[in-house]
Amino acid sequence: MKHWLRLNFVLVCLAMLSTQSANALRFEFDDEAEIADWELGPQGTATVKDGMLELNVAGGQNCGIYFGEENWTDYTLEARVRKKEGDPYFHLFVRTQEPTVDFYFMEISYNSNTTSVFMFKGGVATEITGGPRPARPDSKDNKGGDAYTLAFEVQGDMLRTFIDGKLMVETQDKTYQSGRPGLGSRDSTVWYEYVEINGPGIAPSPVESVGKLAVLWGTLKTR
């Protein structure tokens, strides 16, 4: 009976792990090869080390590193990100066009202590926050620089941004209907622990079920 209960528990846990992995394309930055085909913007450098993507953007550029397909339309981009203490910005990009000066981006600014959304066209910025900028929330994790879980969602003409699960900006714009996601900043160094993206037509990360099952079963056997 105990063995049967253990097996059921393992299968339930495995199903949960499989569901989580199958829902999104996920990058955990264990290897430099993960970003080998990503496009780095001007004045940017990117390095994978210690299980993080370290991104530095200098020279007053609003840019970063971009990945995925130009035909991706509706999706949610989520990232766990930490900023170097004293640096001024966090950015996430959606529906990035070619060349990479046209896009939407969400910004967390430490200069104005707000969060906002912009549309860039021809390198010219238009703010589309759609009202007063929400205040930047205090980070619950500020060891070595503030950290947040950021999400940027695009569905049709709707754009929504979230910080630590809280809706910050909800606005509309029809300029771009598809394009790549991206990670970035301005005059800042940021570290990404993971990045997930999910939406129609985006292939999820493969589920490593065999390894996870072995770990779960081994743990249970020791109890």
Which residue would you say has higher pLDDT here, 46 or 219?
46
- Reference 96, options 184, 194, 192, 188; nearest CA is 184
Give me the residue label for tokens 């004293």: 86
Each residue's pLDDT tens digit, 182-218 = 999 999 999 999 999 999 999 999 865 444 444 444 4
Q: Is the pTM of this model over 0.85?
A: no
Give me the residue label for tokens 């199958």: 22
Q: Which domains does the chain have, with CATH numbers?
A: 26-200 (2.60.120.560)
**Does residue 35 contact residue 207 with C-beta atoms inside 8 Å?**
no
**Does residue 150 contact residue 162 with C-beta atoms inside 8 Å?**
yes
Each residue's pLDDT tens digit, 129-156 = 999 999 999 999 998 899 999 999 999 9
Question: SS3 of 95, please?
Answer: strand
Question: Is pLDDT above 50 for 123?
Answer: yes
Between CA 51 and CA 73 the distance in angstroms is 29
Two tokens at 112?
């104005």
Question: SS3 of 213, please?
Answer: helix
Beta-sheet pairing, 124-127 with 147-155? unpaired
Residue 223, pLDDT score: 39
Lowest mean pLDDT among 46-60, 161-175, 203-217: 203-217
Between CA 82 and CA 190 the distance in angstroms is 6
